Every structure is written in structure tokens, then in C-alpha cells.
Amino acid sequence: MFIEVLLALVIGGLVYFLVPKSRSQVLKTDDGWWGVGAPPHGGEDITIHPFKVTTSDEELEDLHRRIDQSRPVPSLEDSQFNYGFNSHYLQKVVSYWRNDFDWRRQVDKLNQYPHFKINIEGINVHYVHVKPKKVPEGTTAIPLIMVHGWPGSFYEFYGLIPLLTEPSDPDDHVFEVVCPSIPGYGFSEAPHKKGFDSVCAARIFHKLMKHLGFQQFYAHGGDWGWLVTTNMAQLEPGTVKGLHVNFAPPSKPTLPVVLSIMLGRCFPKIFGFTDMDIQNLFPPMEKLVVESIKESGYMHIQATKPDTVGRGLNDSPVGLAAYILEKFSTWTSRDFRNLEDGGLTRKFSLDDLLTNVMIYWTSGCIVSSMRFYKENFGKGFNQPHSKIQVFVPTGFACFPNELMHTPHLWVKQKYHKLLSFTTMARGGHFAAMEEPHLMADDIQKFTKIVEKKKK
């Protein structure tokens, strides 16, 4: 006990003297132009246009023809999902897609919520905007922007939206929800120039929310959505009332983080580590290295040469489905690699999974979505936003099967006003889609904390 106390005093002293004192810095950015050619002399047309997802016989015939002409490849015996998407099971998915999947019905499902487009910085930005049908007397709906990641889309939030706009508990807040597509994803136009990164997306989404009349709002994000909404909080901390994320890898190795890695296994209580933290942070070194190699190949490709592999995926619906759906298997649970079907339908329906694939296929956005990795990683790991703490009230939902585990101490290093840290009972990387009820509950819990503090 004496040794732990002494060590705590030493570490505390190091932290006090070596860690720079927190300063409420604001991220700086300049307006961009991502359209073709030079900006028009007359300025931007910021008219909001209604948008509907559509399809046609020609689109479906082309899809079916390409599926019919795909060339199956046999899987290795006893390989499950350890070599990627199991080819034997892929044939079953493709058969369902070709013969039973009803895209027209899913288009109607997509259109159950109002869609819009607005031109910002030269590109048409798509978003879903859902206003609550009923707001309790004496209250107002709370505006919330929710941002997706890769290889997801705005559709990830379709199970979550009604839980937030029409909550069953009368004590819950009622939200007005905006779900944009990151430019280059889904039905948002892709940038036509190099350099469009997370900060650019954050700036555009701030402009979007201002055009919609919101002077303040909450933000939620996972995967790339975590970084985009974090950048939004860094750009305009007075505009983002609260930030809720379910993914928060450390962007900069601060002294407390380094010390916790070095000493956390031996002295977990000093760093506030739980059993879950120890289990996830300190596996054998061999396992840590092997797992990183197994699950990061896509990132190396997309952060360096996205157009090469992307062109092939853009031509082949079967290749596209395999590439995207393999992530919905492994990123939901690494144990699913050992299953013949990848555990895909244990957490999701094939209709929902294929709807997400179809958003990529029909919009032809796979290449531009992959470029987002190059634009972000290509600028190095020492970007201005990585050095700036977030001083907006923050809530973190820690799902057990997330790609990277981030303990409370690590999250706190970036998010100075961490008001809520919830260890979730279950769920993986696509948590909003996999566990919408758990996510809705945590967003409600966090928002109530912030609103109570403001009152």
C-alpha cells in the first residue's frame, strides 16, 4: 500500500509539472471550395432542396446482370471468416440479394424520413432532417446532429431516430435530429479537389446547422463521425452544447496515458483502471501485434491508394458487398471470425446490411468514401486538432466490442469536461445500428446531465 501511495505522489508531481495546463483553445479553419473549377462570382446558392431516394428498372437490371456475371471462388476448408468474407456464405448472401431482397421496399423505408440537399462550399450536401411529431407543452425539441463513419451511412441511425424523436418515457428529452452524409459518402456530392478532411466536414456541418436555424445544438458521432463532431466542438465550442461519442482513440500520447501504459498493469487503481480496462489494454504483446495486423489492412490501402482498389469495388456489386459486410462481421465482434456465416445476422438483418451496401452502390461513392482516409492520414498525425483539448461537455459510451478500448483516464485527456462515461452492457463498432436502445438511453442520460447543469 505504501509503495502505491508513494508512486501516486511521484506520478502526480510529474503530471503537474510536465503536462501543459489546459487552455481553452479553438481550432482555426478557413472556408473552402470543393466544387468543380473556381467559385462563382455571385456567391453560393444556399437554397435547401427536398430530395428523395429513387430507383429504376434500369438500375436494378444492371445490378442483377453484374451479380449474375460474378465469378464465385471456393473458400478454403475450415477457414470461416479468418481469410476475409467466407466465399461459401457470400454466395448465400448474394443469392438473397439477387432473388429476395426488395430494394424498392427499402427505398420506401429510406424515404419515411424527409431528405434534403443544400450546396455548401461548392458541393451538394445530403441530410435527413426529422422533426418530432409531438413536443410536451412547456418544452422545446433539442437539436442533435448525428454523424456516421465508414463503411456506414446515415442509415445506421434509422433505428435510433424514432427513439429520440418519439421517446416512450415522458421524462425523456425530445430531439430534433439531423443526419448528414459526409461529403463523398452516400448521397452527398464528393469533393472535386484534394484536401477534404474531417475539419472541412466539421466546418460544412456547422454551416448546415446554421442554415437550418440552429444557434446551438448537441452532436453525436462514432467512427469518422467521432472525429468530425469532435472537430465541430473544437471549432465552435460555444455552439455545440454537448458532444456524445462512442469511439475516442487517443489522438496524442499525453504523459498520463504513457504512464498508464507503462505502469497500469501493476498499479491499476492509481489510473482508475477496471478489470475491463486491464483485459483490453494488456493482452500478450504477440496477440496485440497480430490483432493489429489482422484488422488494419483496409486502413493502409485506403490511406495510401484508395482509387486503385476502389475502382474494382465500384464495378462489382459482389466485391463491394464482401468488402463492406466483412467489417460488419469482424467489427461487431472479433469472435465472429470463427463462424462460417461471420455472425452477420446475429446482430443485423440482411435487409439492413444490404440497404447500407445499396446506398454505396447506387450512389457510386465507394472510391470517394475511401479517399477520406487518405485526406486525413495523409496529413500526418500531428494536425492542429490533435493538440487541442475539447472543452465542450462530453459523454462517452464505452461499448465492449469496440475496435479500440479507451479507458476513462484516456478519454479525459482529450475531453476536458467529461461528464458521462458509461460502460455499456454489449455492442461493437456499429453501436447505433446494433444497439439503438442502449445508445438512445445513453444520449438521454448525458443530455439530462448537461441540461440540468445549465439550469
DSSP string, 322-348: HHHHHHHHHTT-GGGGGSTTTTHHHHS
- Beta-carbon count within 10 A of 129 CB: 17
Catalytic residue among 115, 126, 148, 429: 429
Catalytic residue among 89, 185, 206, 223: 223
The answer for 206, left when phi > 0, alpha when psi is -120 to 50, beta otherwise, is: alpha
What is the C-alpha separation between 336 and 350, in angstroms, rounded?
16
What is the C-alpha separation between 395 and 415, in angstroms, rounded?
9
Residue with grid cell 481469410, as numbered in its chain: 83
Residue 22, burial from CB neighbour count under 10 angstroms (0-12, 13-18, 19+)? exposed
Cβ pair 356, 109 in contact under 8 A: no
Residue with grid cell 491508394, as numbered in its chain: 305
Strands (E), 88-174: 115-120, 123-130, 142-147
- What the block records as the C-alpha cell of 64 is 442483377
Is position 223 annotated as part of the catalytic site? Answer: yes
What is the C-alpha separation between 134 and 275, in angstroms, rounded?
43
- What the block records as the C-alpha cell of 424 is 455499456
**What's the full length of the chain, in residues?**
455
What is the C-alpha separation between 105 and 423, in angstroms, rounded?
37
Residue 10, burial from CB neighbour count under 10 angstroms (0-12, 13-18, 19+)? exposed
Cβ pair 248, 390 in contact under 8 A: no
Measured in degrees and rounded to the nearest 5, phi and psi for residue 398 equal: -100, 100
Q: In what order do the strands lie in the sheet with 115-120?
A: 49-51, 115-120, 123-130, 175-180, 142-147, 217-221, 240-245, 394-398, 418-423
Catalytic residue among 373, 385, 415, 441: 373
Is position 441 annotated as part of the catalytic site? Answer: no
Q: Which residues pair with 422 in a beta bridge?
A: 397
Residue with grid cell 455492442, as numbered in its chain: 427
Question: Could you tell me how many helices (H) and strands (E) the chain has, helices first?
Answer: 20, 9
Is position 442 annotated as part of the catalytic site? Answer: no
The catalytic residues are 223, 373, 429
